[in-house]
Structure 1
Amino acid sequence: MNRITSLFNIQYPIIQGGMIWNSGYKLASAVSNAGGLGLIGAGSMYPDVLREHIQKCKKATDKPFGVNVPMLYPNIEKIMQIIVEEGVKIVFTSAGNPKTWTPFLKEKGITVVHVVSSSKFALKAQDAGVDAVVAEGFEAGGHNGREETTTLTLIPMVKENITIPLIAAGGIATGRGMLAAMILGADGVQMGSRFAASVESSAHENFKQTIIDTQEGNTLVTLKELAPVRLIKNKFFNDLQELYAKCPTTEELKELLGRARAKRGMFEGDLVEGELEIGQIAGLIHDIKPVKEIIDSVMEEFELAKKEAVML
């Protein structure tokens, strides 16, 4: 047992990222059943859809699971109410001030974790009363920190500043990566991209195939003026770069982005005009496997790497 497995009452200190359009109840329950902590990604769900996924997840697993809530999305009050009504015990918050919802959730007996991209925000989260933080490096997929701090430097810097449990995220998809993060001071890891390319992920098969086809250097962070996001380079990405060459206004960027661009790419499988969010670690993901196989192989490699490290 370590601080993360104790906090969540799980077997392995592996948390599945609550990724929009990838993280429905099938993925969350599969991760929980395999010994990790599964998260339903509320960011791409209307309140009634979220309620349905929570109810289905409760039927699909008797193990702990949680909900990831990006606080910049609309319907936040309704989403939090549903989480309480459905008896969800673990909530990961991101993209917002942890002081806003942490006291409300803690009063209801819910374990709260906040996602941060810097030591400054980790301290703010700790001061707000969260139970743990996820420190996410710049390698991560999806929405990203503006500071461009990589996981290798972020984890020890955050560790130096906080006393609560620390979960490392960004660029982790293997047992060796997990061990490296824990040697740097993390108590556990959160993996997104590796689980996006799983059988149980709710992403479109086109997107899953694109993840395993993605090679080193095929992703880049863009849209920093709105919310930094790491994207696979496709026609939409190239259109963005052409617009950037003209020094666009924020409004012009919003107009090109439009609505439901991420849904088009990741959920509907439009590889041309869709927004395809994934981490740099996609270059190390070579297959689409069931969640249990992913977790088993990560833990097997972790234990082997640990033995090798002792022999050095």
Structure 2
Amino acid sequence: MNRITALFDIEYPLIQAGMVWNSGWKLASAVSNAGGLGLIGAGSMYPEVLREHIQKCKAATTKPFGVNVPLLYPDIDKLMQIIIEEGVQIVFTSAGNPKTWTTHLKDHGIKVVHVVSSVKFALKAQDASVDAVVAEGFEAGGHNGREETTTFTLIPMVKEQLEIPLIAAGGIATGKGMFAAMILGADGVQIGSRFVATPEASSHQAFKDLVVEAKEGATELTLKELAPVRLLKNKFYTDVKRLYESTPTKEELSALLGRGRAKKGMFEGDLEEGELEIGQIAGLIHEIKPAAEVVAEIITEFKAIKLPQL
């Protein structure tokens, strides 16, 4: 047992990231049942939709699971109230100030983890009394840090100064990647992109197929002036790149982005006009397989590793 398995009462120090439009109750419960920690991604859910997913997840697993709440979305107060009412024991927050909700959640007996992309914000999260920190390198999909610090650089720098448990994220999809992150100081890992390519992920099949087809160089971090996001290169991405040629204002970028781009791409399967968020590690994802098999494969590879001799 290590600090993460003890904190969450789980078998393996492996957390499935709460990804908008990908992480519903089916994926979260499947990962939890397989020995990891499944997270419901609340960022794409209206309050009552979140309640439904929590209730279905409770019915599908007796194991611990959590909810990821990006703090930049509306209706946060309603989402948090539902989380408390439904007895969720673990909350991962991201994209905002951890001080805003940590004390309130902990007062209700909830363990709180905050996602950061730098040493500075890891220490701020620790000062806010979170129970653990996810340090995410810029290889990760979705919203990301502006500094472009890689996971293998970020983890040892955070570890050097952090006292609470540390979870590594960004560019991890295999047992070898998990092992490497933990050798560098992480107590566990959070994995997102690999779980997109599962039958249980709530995203559109066309998006899952495109993730499997992706090769090295298929993604890029962009839209830093708004909220940095790593995208698969499609027509929408090309439109963004073309707009950058004219040195656009934030307002012009916002106008191009519009509303519902992520839903259009990942959930509805519009591979041309949608926002397709995935990590660089997509180039190492070659097939769609059940979440339980993904967990088993990662843990088996992790346990079988033998260090090379000098």
Q: Do both share a fold (TM > 0.5)?
A: yes
SS of residue in 1 equivalent to 2:199: coil
Partner of 1:171: helix, strand, or coil? coil
Partner of 2:224: 224
Which residue is equivalent to 2:307? 309
Whole-Å separation in 2 of the counterparts to 1:30 and 1:106: 26
Aligned to 1:132: 132
Give the deviation of 1:162 after TM superposition: 0.7
Residue 275 of structure 1 aligns with which residue?
275
Instruction: Show structure 2 runs of 5+ residues with no match.
Output: none
Deviation at 1:199, TM superposition (A): 1.1
Q: How many residues align?
A: 310
User: Could you tell me how far apart the structure 2 residues matched to 1:296 and 1:236 are?
Assistant: 36
Give the equivalent residue in structure 2 for 1:52: 52
- For 1:303 and 1:84, how far apart are their aligned partners in 2? 37
In structure 1, distance between residues paired with 2:4 and 2:201: 24
Structure 1 counterpart SS, 2:230: strand
- Percentage of matched positions with identical amino acids: 75
Q: Secondary structure at the match of 2:133?
A: strand
Match of 2:289 in 1: 289
Which residue in 2 is equivalent to 1:101? 101
CA distance in 1, matches of 2:309, 2:175: 17
Q: Output one character per residue of 1:189-212: Cα deviation in whole Å (capped at 9) or x when no partner.
A: 000000011110001000000001
**What is the RMSD of the two structures over their aligned residues, measured on CA atoms?**
0.7
Partner of 1:263: 263
* AA at the equivalent of 1:140: A
- Determine if the alignment matches structure 1 residue 188 to structure 2 residue 188: yes
2:83 aligned with 1:83, yes or no?
yes
Distance in 2 (CA, whole Å) between partners of 1:150 and 1:85 is 38
Who is 1:199 aligned against? 199
Measure how far apart 1:311 and its partner are.
Answer: 5.0
Give ranges in structure 1 of 5+ residues lacking alignment.
Answer: none
CA distance in 2, matches of 1:310, 1:166: 26
Spell out, residue by residue over 1:222-244, the C-alpha distance to the aligned partner (whole angstroms, 9 max, x if none).
00000000000000000001111
For residues 20-62 of structure 1, give each alpha carbon's deviation from its aligned partner in whole angstroms, at most 9, with x where no partner exists. 0000000000000000000000000000000000000000000
- Give 1:310 shift: 6.7
1:28 corresponding residue in structure 2: 28
Match of 2:215 in 1: 215
In 1, distance between residues paired with 2:142 and 2:108? 30
Could you tell me which residue of structure 1 aligns to residue 144 of structure 2? 144
> Helix, strand or coil: the match of 1:208?
helix
The Cα of 1:309 is off from its aligned counterpart by 1.0
CA separation in 2, counterparts of 1:198 and 1:311? 36
Query: Secondary structure of the residue that 1:230 maps to in structure 2?
Result: strand
Q: Deviations over 1:222-281 (max 9, x none)?
A: 000000000000000000011110111111111110110000000000000000000000
- Partners of 1:311 and 1:174 lie apart in 2 by 22
Q: CA deviation at 1:178?
A: 0.1
User: Could you tell me which amino acid in structure 2 is paired with residue 278 of structure 1?
Assistant: I
Q: Secondary structure at 2:99's aligned position in 1?
A: coil
| Alpha-carbon distance in 1 for matches of 2:27, 2:153 | 30
2: distance between equivalents of 1:310 and 1:185?
A: 19
How far apart are 1:301 and its partner, in Å? 0.6
Give the match's secondary structure for 1:36.
Answer: coil
